[in-house]
């Protein structure tokens, strides 16, 4: 194992004087796929959200590729730019922008955040959609996509800015067994490109296909 990309030390999250996460510590190395396991309500999603700075934490430290998050309120977005460049997030509900086509869901950030031209952004989107086997659905609106298609578009959207770490929340929840196996293969491919993955799941079979399992209890 080389240097860790993500380091979590003693992470504590309290809500209404209830401990949601108590002193969680683990690391994710570059190119490693880690499953975050545990029953529902144990704080898997909370941990991912804390790493993505969508949620404050009360104690501990999070470091992503040299960028540190400290306990306390979530910093303003202007200070989170380095984090946003390093971390992608695939939500359980996919959270696609309902008014945009699959392609525009992917190109929006490329054009408006990273400043790429429409042609450059379209090329990236076409490559990503094709590699995830949804190349033919570029024009479809989210409402017209199946659950599996929407998930792959969401993965493509998160990958488009080329983040070093991809966070995924329950990616197999809406997939049949065949799709689960295909997804594991897809994610493995991403790791082989040097990307790190942290996947929250309660699917033991899927977790078995990752490099390492961190269990929350």
Partner 1 sequence: MIIRAATSQACKLALCLFTSLLAQDRSARVLVWGGDAEGGAPYVEADPANPARVRGFDVEVAERIARGLGDRSARFVQVQWSDIDLSVERGDFALGLSGVEDTPARRAQHAVTIPYFEFREVLAVRPADAGRIHSLADLRGRRVGTLGSTIAYTILLAARDSTGLIPISYDDDVHPYADLVQGRMDAVLLDHIIAQRALRRRGGSGFVILPQPIAIGHYVGVLARADSALRDSMDAVLRESMRDGSLEQIFRRWRVWDETQATLFDRVLRGETVGTTGPAGAAQAIAYLPSLARAAAVTLLVSVLSMALAVIVGLALASGRVYGSALLRWLTTFYVEVIRGTPLLLQLFVIYYGLAGFVRLPALLAAILALGLNYAAYEAEIYRGALEAVPRVQLEAARTLGFTELQILGLIRGPQALRYALAPMTNDFVALLKDSALVSVITVVELTKQTAIYATNVGSWIVPGLLCAAVYLAMSLPLARLARRLERRWRVA
Site residues (CB under 8 A) for partner 1?
Answer: 52, 54, 77-78, 81, 84-85, 87-89, 91, 93, 95-99, 108-109, 112-114, 141-144, 157-158, 161
Q: How many CA atoms lie within 13 A of 67 on its CB side?
A: 17
Q: Is 201 left (phi over 0), alpha (psi -120 to 50) or beta?
A: beta
Q: How many CA atoms lie within 13 A of 1 on its CB side?
A: 13
The CB-of-189 to partner 1 minimum distance in angstroms stands at 22
Judged by CB, which is closer to partner 1: 2, or 78?
A: 78
Crossing angle (nearest 10°) for helices 118-131 and 147-159: 130
Judged by CB, which is closer to partner 1: 22, or 84?
A: 84
Judged by CB, which is closer to partner 1: 61, or 95?
A: 95
Judged by CB, which is closer to partner 1: 55, or 186?
A: 55
Handedness of CA 35, 40, 41, 45 (dihedral sign): positive
The CB-of-214 to partner 1 minimum distance in angstroms stands at 21
The CB-of-78 to partner 1 minimum distance in angstroms stands at 8
The CB-of-1 to partner 1 minimum distance in angstroms stands at 26
């Amino acid at each position: 194992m080389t240097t860790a990309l993500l380091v979590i030390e003693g992470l504590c999250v309290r809500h209404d004087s209830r401990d949601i996460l108590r002193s969680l510590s683990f690391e994710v190395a570059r190119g490693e796929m880690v499953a975050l396991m545990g029953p529902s309500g144990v704080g898997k999603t909370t941990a991912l959200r804390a790493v993505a700075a969508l949620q404050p934490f009360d104690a501990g430290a999070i470091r992503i590729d040299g960028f540190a998050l400290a306990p306390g309120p979530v910093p303003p977005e202007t200070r989170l730019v380095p984090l946003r460049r390093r971390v992608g997030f695939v939500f359980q509900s996919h959270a696609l922008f309902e008014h945009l086509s699959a392609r525009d869901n992917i190109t929006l950030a490329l054009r408006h955040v990273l400043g790429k031209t429409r042609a450059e952004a379209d090329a990236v989107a076409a490559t990503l959609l094709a590699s995830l086997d949804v190349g033919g659905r570029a024009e479809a609106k989210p409402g017209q996509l199946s659950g599996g298609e929407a998930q792959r578009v969401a993965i493509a959207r998160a990958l488009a800015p080329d983040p070093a770490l991809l966070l995924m929340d329950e990616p197999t929840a809406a997939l049949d067994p065949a799709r689960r196996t295909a997804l594991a293969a897809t994610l493995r491919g991403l790791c082989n490109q040097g990307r790190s993955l942290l996947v929250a799941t309660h699917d033991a079979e899927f977790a078995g296909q990752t490099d390492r399992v961190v269990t929350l209890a």
